Amino acid sequence: MGRRCFLKPGGTAPDLVGVRSTPPSVVGQPVIVRWSLIVAVGLVGAGLVRRAVGLLGWIQQTGLHGGWIASWSFVGIGGTVWAPIIMSKPVLLMALAPRAMFVALAAPHLDLLPFVLLGLLRLSMTDASYYVLGRRLPDWVERRRSTPATGLRGRITRGADWMAESICRRPWLAGPFLFFRPSGKYLAVAGAYGVSSRTAGVAAVAGTITYLVCMHEGITKILL
């Protein structure tokens, strides 16, 4: 049964009792939201396309090692994206995306030895490729050295180059540094600046094992 409308005494058509008029601002909101979403999706898509093009160019330049690094990067991204769904399987989550939080979640579900072996395998999966790329791309160092030391950016670049060369030319400094920071980018820098493969490999493996042992023992003692 339709709603009955009555005019207020002495009122006009806009003063209908029981009729709600929708403000123009409310009417336009769905359109604004829709177009905002379209623009946001377009910007995100354009950013992803640019990153994909840059990644393909990088893979073409670096060859097999670049493709290996990129493939495991995609695995890690996928694990992070699916984390809310596979949170009940922390070991699988750690194997896909070995971020510190996911590694900590998996610690109570594995004994020390399998935890360290799994973590070492996953965290070191691309270390050798980063080091090799650093050795094969020495022109990166030359470009940094040829950057004019003018302006703040130039001074920072030359200062970083001096620091990296000072550390990498001294194994007794390069080893401890890679022990505490055994990540791919630092291994690439070590390779580019001439750190021996033995020093880089031993320091990175020892640092990763120490990190995993401390993580496992710390988390299990907190929870138990």
The per-residue pLDDT for range 21-64, each reduced to its tens digit, is: 545 544 455 555 555 556 555 555 565 566 656 656 656 666 78
Q: In angstroms, rounded to a whole number, what is the distance separating the alpha carbons of residues 117 and 36?
A: 48
Top-confidence range, 41-45, 154-158, 187-191, 207-211 = 207-211
Q: Express each pLDDT in 141-182 by its tens digit.
A: 666 656 565 667 667 777 777 888 888 889 899 999 999 999
Q: Do residues 152 and 176 lie in contact, with contact meaning Cβ atoms separated by under 8 Å?
A: no
pLDDT-based confidence at 125, cuts 50/70/90? very high
Give the tens place of pLDDT for each residue, 76-102. Answer: 888 888 888 888 999 999 999 999 999
Decide: pTM greater than 0.75: no
Residues 6+ apart with CB under 8 A from 27: none
